[in-house]
């Protein structure tokens, strides 16, 4: 994962994982119990700090870029390794 330009916010990572798992801001928001617009803003903030595009929008929903898939896989591995909550 690239270096972040600013503090890491675990909540932003939680939102990113929910989008990756559920494919749309609406479904990710429903699982996280928050508005889809909030999920989208959190993703935008993370992408801006990381200076990397994690998802591309498509008619079917949000598709992870290569970087987005890498981040999701690494975060999921960390979550399992350290017995962190699944978040979504």
CATH number of the structural domain 10-81: 1.10.10.10
pLDDT attached to residue 66 = 97
Residue, of 31 and 7, whose pLDDT is higher: 31
The conformational region for residue 61 under phi > 0 = left, psi -120 to 50 = alpha, else beta, is left
3-state secondary structure at position 56: strand
> Which of the four pLDDT bands, split at 50, 70 and 90, describes residue 4?
low
pLDDT attached to residue 23 = 96
pLDDT attached to residue 52 = 93
Query: For 54-82, what is each residue's pLDDT tens digit?
Result: 999 999 999 999 999 999 998 888 878 88
Residue 59 neighbours by CB distance under 10 Å? 4
Domain ranges of the chain: 10-81
């Amino acid at each position: 994962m690239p270096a972040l330009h600013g503090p890491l916010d675990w909540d932003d990572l939680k939102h990113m994982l929910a989008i990756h798992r559920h494919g749309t801001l609406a479904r990710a928001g429903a699982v996280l119990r928050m508005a889809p617009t909030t999920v989208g803003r959190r993703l935008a903030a993370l992408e801006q700090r990381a200076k990397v595009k994690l998802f591309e929008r498509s008619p079917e929903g949000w598709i992870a870029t290569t970087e987005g898939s890498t981040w999701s896989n690494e975060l999921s591995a960390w979550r399992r390794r350290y017995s962190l909550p699944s978040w979504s």
